[in-house]
Amino acid sequence: MRGIKELSVANTTVVSDRGQTYNFNINEKLNELNIKSLLLTKQLESGELYDFDYDNQIIVHDKYDAKPTYKKTKGYFPGIATISNKIVYIENRDGNANVKTDQAETLSRSYGLLEKYGLKINRSRMDAGSYSKKIIEVVAKNSKTFYIRANKCESLFEKICAVKDWQQEEINFIQYQVASIEFTQFYAEKHYRLVIMREKNKDGQLNVFSGDNFNYRCILTNDWESTEKVVIEYYNQRGASEKIFDIQNNDFGWNHLPCSDMNHNTVYLILMAIAKNFYNYMIQLVSMVFEDIKPTSRLKRFIFRFISVSGKWVYQSRQWKLRLYTDRPYEKLCC
């Protein structure tokens, strides 16, 4: 606990466009340490291209500084950036902070840290919480291509309803109609693309905007080369990145914050993310030797399969030796 407090930094007060104030905690040194550890273990390599995901995750707790979240719980609402199954940036914020508040600045710091160590972003993928002009500008500047879920509005539906050329596609065993239109809602000069998918709803209820019985979903992108199906399937894969939050909550203690203050708990969140990244590295090595342990094995399975083994310390030849009562190939990990 003393070490956590020594590694903490003071909170930053952020004022939203509506004049509301929120506490953010921006621990640049620990985030930098996390990137250095990923480079040291060669899980990330300078000069390589990576896919970048960003999301905000509710951390439920009952500390005195917990704030009510949009899910009717209390806690924090940190912004978290990931590359594959690795957390690369964490910035904590009050639970009642709007997801768009200062997100452009958070993303700029995240992209900047990666760029500092030569990590280049190929594709960025985010949900509708990142759908705003200011945020899109930052994402487009720091990514070759981006994919952001678009919020539906009346002006957007006017253009969608004008689409006549719908193509039939099967995605995840469901039949959809897909189409693309040029996106000019935020930018008249940018050549962005809105990929639209729709399916008939089950109850036949009419959509208030479109006047038909379809459910619509839209993805904003600057990728004009991929087909609509490829864009939609790639965006849908962000569910895999969200699994990281479940692992952090249940395997690496994010559900049980140890401190009473946001700045101290931010240190804990980042340290546990570093521990998870080291676990990724170790489990990859172990899975090459132990057939029943996979690179995707959760911590509980790893403990039962690898750590829980009968053993005895034996004094032999004037030294203590650990004798394991197993025929499993632990000795191969010493090479």
3-state helix, strand, coil in the chain (%, to 5): 35, 30, 35
Read off the pLDDT of each residue in 203-211 and give the average, rounded to a whole number. Answer: 67
User: For 115-164, how does the pLDDT look when each residue is reduced to its tens digit (9 = 90+)?
Assistant: 999 999 999 999 999 999 999 999 999 999 999 999 877 777 778 878 88
- Give the DSSP H or E segment for 68: strand 67-68
Q: Which of 32, 25, 128, 43 has its CA nearest to residue 79? A: 25
Around 114, how many Cα atoms within 13 Å sit in the side-chain half-sphere?
Answer: 28
The whole-number pLDDT of residue 209 equals: 63
Q: Which of 122, 116, 126, 165 has its CA nearest to residue 142? A: 122
The answer to whether 293 and 306 have CB atoms below 8 angstroms apart is: yes
User: For 282-306, how does the pLDDT look when each residue is reduced to its tens digit (9 = 90+)?
Assistant: 999 999 999 889 999 999 999 998 9
CA angle 213, 215, 216 (to 5 degrees): 130
Phi, psi of 48 (to 5 degrees): -90, 155
User: For 5-36, how does the pLDDT look when each residue is reduced to its tens digit (9 = 90+)?
Assistant: 999 999 999 998 888 999 999 999 999 999 99
The whole-number pLDDT of residue 30 equals: 97
The whole-number pLDDT of residue 268 equals: 96
Tokens at 297, concatenated:
């094995």
pTM given for the model = 0.88
Question: Is pLDDT at 324 greater than 70 in this prediction?
Answer: yes
The answer to whether 77 and 150 have CB atoms below 8 angstroms apart is: no
User: For 81-104, how does the pLDDT look when each residue is reduced to its tens digit (9 = 90+)?
Assistant: 999 999 999 999 999 999 999 999
**Quick one: pLDDT band at residue 211, thresholds 50, 70, 90?**
low
**Domains defined along the chain, listed by start:** 2-282 (3.90.350), 299-334 (no CATH)
